[in-house]
Structure 1
Amino acid sequence: MTVPLATIDDVRRAEASIRPYFSSAPLIRSYPLERELSLPASRRVWLKDYGWTPTGSFKLMGALNWMARNLERIGDRPVAAHSSGNFASGISFAGMCFQRHVIVVMPESAPRIKFERTRSFGAEIRTYNIERDHLTGERERMTRDIAEKEGAIQASPYDDPHVIAGNGVGGLEIVRELQRENRKLSHFFCPISGGGLMSGHALAIADGFPEATIIGVEPDGANDFQKSLTAGQRVRLDRPSSICDGLLSYDVGVHNWPLLQRFVKQSVALPDESTRQAMRWIYDQHGLRTEPSGAIAVAAALSRQVDLSGDGDIVLTVSGRNADDEAFAKWIDLPPAAPQIG
């Protein structure tokens, strides 16, 4: 089956659609990571920090572009979507910007901050039990029922060319910033779940820095992309599990997989303990509070599983910061990172 795929031109067009509502997320140089990874003075490490956005994650980029491209089709009908929480707040933010009613289906166990952000932008929330979803499929059923019974237009959190293109705007920002600094890029680390973030970013990174190695990062209990890469086809997991609640898709999307297969040649899967240690490291070294999904790319670099040799810079995606206070404190309750000297 041939599916329409997002292109770099779609990413460039998406920027015009979302820029009135969203300013560039910062690209922050990480001096501590440069020391930690023993890089020569000629190379730099950068964190692309989407926790800075109004929704606390990258998800609003794809949501804004999807909403902008579907306004005529939506008309005065509601928009329905399912989400672990970050796309919920993203599509809610887009609904507020474009004055459309949004209904989102979220797990009962989603972090409180994700419920609060989503409601703050005006969306209606309905919940399901994620622990039994692998048996009941209630997440998909509830979303489909809203579309069929309430006349809603359904939005995918990742499996849609407009969502992919919108997310890719962040990749354009990375490319432009590095080019403005006359830098080269050797490695790009980014989390993969359904593939909406990585496929959009990979389009932009591969266009701007075709020599860069693009590395996908997943929890080892939710490594459907890694298994798909090995098999050469999409592999579905029966029950993904991890503290990274934003990385628990059953499989990568139909619209995402061809782009991921083309651009992402390497995958790293990490235990949750490594992600917790990265969360603590980022907090100790940068004062940033991240959610687990947001820290996993840094965890991959710290794990030394990837050969970082080369003469370009390294960019790590911090995809979000939406963690509840109590959960964050528990996750980083580890011995403090060793102080950096020099």
Structure 2
Amino acid sequence: MTVSLRVPTFEDVRVAASRIDGEAHRTPVLTSRAANAKIGGELFFKAENLQRAGAFKFRGAYNAVSALSPEARQKGVVAFSSGNHAQALAYAATLLDAPSVIVMPKDAPEIKVAATRGYGAEVVFFDRYKDDREAMARGISEERGMTVIPPFDHPDIIAGQGTAALELIDEVGQIDILIAPLGGGGLLAGCALSAKALAPGCRVIGVEPEAGNDGQQSLQKGEVVRIAPPKSIADGALTTYVGDHNFPILQAKVDGIVTVSDAQLVSTMRFFAERMKLIVEPTGCLAAAAALNGVVDCAGKRVGIVLSGGNVDLKALSGFFADA
């Protein structure tokens, strides 16, 4: 377990909302008659694919960097990420005049690598199947005096991500179910804090790719389960374990974790492109895929769905559709 573990609360989410106000977009909540007819309920899509840097990650990144002391910001930040946290932290650091280094897998989507560099970060590559990305980040931190800000296992990251659900419920009112993607657990844990505080009767469900259900296994076993690096088109959810800060929140406030297949993700991406004119990346489709494919029964319910990101290479997107 992490030393001096500080598990965030809903009050931390409130503080984060104040910090990011005017910096993070208050993304729209979208609806679809076709989607509602398909599931027999009401779906409210929180469009974080329209967030700054293209994903919800900007919320936590900006909150975490802005919480640092001026001295720490001057020295800079380092992170490890497959893409969305990389872009978000690079962008947030630039806005707050902090240098940044991002340790990224060498097979990360080209669009995410280019965007990360475009936002001002130095990129260092690693092999996700051989190298220890956390050890690499720690080494850079020790060498340069930078602060490590991990993609999910950090109280300020969790609190920042929770502002997405706070805004959703503030806009649409009480919901019966909240469904969010689950990779390392920052988004799901933060959203669970908000949902249980603002809509106590709301069921909170996390969704993982079938190939990487470490979170599901962890809740079932009652301890963090680590798995081998999974392979799925949901590149933002290819974590091998949930974070120590996240797991106590998942245990206390998440009602269930389900999985969806890559084929279901592709059909969901196609639905958004064709029916709602939205580009949503595979990971961003996890929650919606669970609802639209009946993995979570939403009939007769008001359901919040977090579309976590839209950073997908158009060449890859056309390839997904061609293979479907």
1:314 maps to 2:303? yes
- Name 1:96's counterpart in structure 2: 94
Shift of 1:71: 3.0
**Equivalents in 2 of 1:197, 1:298: separation in Å?**
15
| Counterpart for residue 69 of structure 1 | 67
- Distance (Å, rounded) in 2 between the aligned partners of 1:272 and 1:215: 19
Q: Does 1:254 align with 2:256?
A: no
Check 1:128–1:334 CA distance in 2 against 1; reply closer, same or farther (3 A cut). Answer: closer
Separation in 2 of the partners of 1:75 and 1:230?
A: 40
Residue 92 of structure 1 aligns to a residue whose secondary structure is: helix
The answer to whether the 8 Å contact 1:202/1:263 transfers is yes
Cα deviation 1:34-59 (Å, max 9, x = unaligned): 011123xxxx2111111111200000
- Equivalent positions of 1:278-317 (< 5 A) are 278-310=268-300, 312-317=301-306
Give 1:333 shift: 2.5
The Cα shift of 1:30 comes to: 2.0
Shift of 1:141: 2.4
Contact 2:25 2:52 (C-alpha < 8 Å) held by counterparts: no
What TM-score do the two structures reach when normalised by structure 1?
A: 0.91
State the secondary structure of the residue aligned to 1:48.
Answer: strand
- Following TM superposition, by how much is the alpha carbon of 1:210 offset from its aligned partner in structure 2, in angstroms? 0.9
Q: Secondary structure at the match of 1:80?
A: strand
Cα distance, 1:284–1:220 mapped onto 2, change above 3 Å: same
SS at the partner of 1:105? Answer: strand
2:156 is equivalent to residue 162 of structure 1: yes
| Alignment RMSD (CA, Å) | 1.4
Task: Determine whether 1:172 maps to 2:162.
Answer: no
State the distance in 1 between where 2:71 and 2:255 align. Answer: 37
1:1-342 alignment runs, 5 A limit: 3-39=5-41, 44-72=42-70, 74-130=72-128, 132-133=129-130, 136-137=131-132, 139-179=133-173, 184-310=174-300, 312-333=301-322
In the alignment, what sits opposite 1:340?
A: none
Deviations 1:57-89 (A, max 9, x none): 000000000001113351421211000010011
Give the Cα–Cα distance (whole angstroms) in 2 for the partners of residues 37 and 317 of structure 1: 16
SS in structure 2 at match of 1:295: helix
2-side partners of 1:230 and 1:81: how far apart? Answer: 30
C-alpha distance after superposition, 1:242-264 (max 9, x if no partner): 11110011100000000011111
Give the total of aligned pairs: 322
TM-score by length of 2: 0.96
Q: Are the counterparts in 2 of residues 21 and 97 from structure 1 also a CA contact under 8 Å?
A: no
How far did residue 21 of structure 1 move? 1.2
Task: Tell me the percent identity.
Answer: 34
Is the CA contact (8 Å cut-off) linking 2:94 and 2:119 kept in structure 1? yes
SS in 2 for 1:290: coil
Letter in 2 for 1:332: F
Gaps of 5+ in 2: none
Determine the C-alpha separation between the residues in 2 that align with 1:170 and 1:291: 17
The structure whose Rg is larger is 1
Alignment deviations for residues 167-217 of structure 1 (CA, whole Å, 9 cap, x no partner)? 1111110111013xxxx3111110001101111111111111111111100
CA distance 1:125–1:325, shift in 2 (3 Å): same
Secondary structure, aligned partner of 1:332: helix
Distance in 1, Cα, partners of 2:102 & 2:172: 36
